Amino acid sequence: MAGMASTTSVAIEQYLSTVYEPEMDYVDGELEDRNVGEKDHSKLQAKLIRLLPATLAVFPEVRIRVSASRFRVPDVCVYLQEPDEQVFTSPPLAVVEILSPEDRMVRMQRKLEDYYAMGCRNVWILDPRGKKAYHYDGSAVVEVQGSLNAGEVTLPLEKLFE
């Protein structure tokens, strides 16, 4: 059913040894669907990846272990250097979630909190339809004006949304 989250119980070992199409989040023993697949979402994801400096390690839709019992798959994650492991365990420089019409803020908030709790301080949310960007600061989602910044990385919003 469109817009409804579907969950399925599985063991961590089964999650890690299974390929899902599309990839799924793993939260405390439950698989959670991710809302992906629409043109606006895909176009913004591709543009974001192209605009990030080539010196960074940029990964679309890769598993990140955010806690002992949770794995998240952000739309894009960015590292200063490529991690050695296949499933990342260190906090990225930045994670990006791109909103789809079916996304619900309650579910999105849990994802943002997970990224922040693991140590990622640049948690970005992009809205392709509203052409807006947001930053999660550990307690609130705040609209960003001008550019997204992570350390020495600056991403002008006008280039991202043009």
Residue 4 confidence (pLDDT): 42
Angstrom distance (rounded) from CA 91 to CA 76: 13
- Dihedral (C-alpha) 23, 67, 49, 143: value to the nearest 10 degrees? 110
> For residue 21, what are its two tokens?
């199409």
Angstrom distance (rounded) from CA 70 to CA 28: 6
In this model, does residue 12 exceed pLDDT 80? Answer: yes
In this model, does residue 6 exceed pLDDT 60? Answer: no
Angstrom distance (rounded) from CA 97 to CA 123: 8
The pLDDT tens digits for 62-99 are 999 999 999 999 999 999 999 999 999 999 999 999 98
> For residue 63, what are its two tokens?
């598993």
For the domain made up of 35-161, the CATH class stated in words is: alpha beta
The CA-CA-CA angle for residues 76, 39, 159, to 5°, reads 60
The pLDDT tens digits for 28-66 are 999 988 876 688 889 999 999 999 999 999 999 999 999
